[in-house]
């Protein structure tokens, strides 16, 4: 659902709300977000947003959630559920 404010919102307020939601999402998944370049040795380098989800274990050391790392798509607007 698109963001539809019901009262006037400043740019700073929108940024603060977005960052709070993003931090909440990262916290919910135990994730880290890293922005880096594509590490290509030639041509124009592009920014890459990498997400890291560390493994999680129970008290007996059994894996509850596996480690994974992936890059976000180069464009995401929240309206398309396709990966």
Work out how many domains the chain is built from and give that number. Answer: 1
Does 5 fall in a domain? no
Answer yes or no: is 67 within a domain: yes
CA distance linking residue 71 with residue 4, whole number of Å: 28
pLDDT grade, residue 66 (50/70/90)? very high
What tens digit of pLDDT does each residue of 20-61 get? Answer: 999 999 999 999 999 887 677 776 577 888 999 999 999 999
- Give the domain range for residue 56: 31-76
User: How many whole angstroms separate alpha carbon 21 and alpha carbon 5?
Assistant: 15
For residues 47 and 72, give the distance between their C-alpha atoms in angstroms, rounded to a whole number.
11
Per-residue pLDDT at 10 exceeds 90 = yes
Helix (H) or strand (E) holding 17: helix 11-29
Residues 6+ apart with CB under 8 A from 29: 53
Per-residue confidence (pLDDT) for residue 68, from 0 to 100: 96
């Amino acid at each position: 659902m698109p963001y539809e404010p019901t009262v006037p919102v400043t740019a700073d307020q929108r940024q603060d709300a977005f960052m709070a939601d993003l931090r909440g999402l990262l916290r919910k998944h135990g994730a880290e977000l890293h922005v880096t370049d594509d590490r290509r040795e030639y041509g124009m380098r592009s920014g890459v947003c990498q997400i890291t989800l560390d493994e999680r274990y129970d008290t007996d050391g059994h894996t509850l959630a596996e480690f994974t790392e992936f890059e976000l798509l180069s464009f995401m607007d929240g309206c398309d559920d396709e990966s």
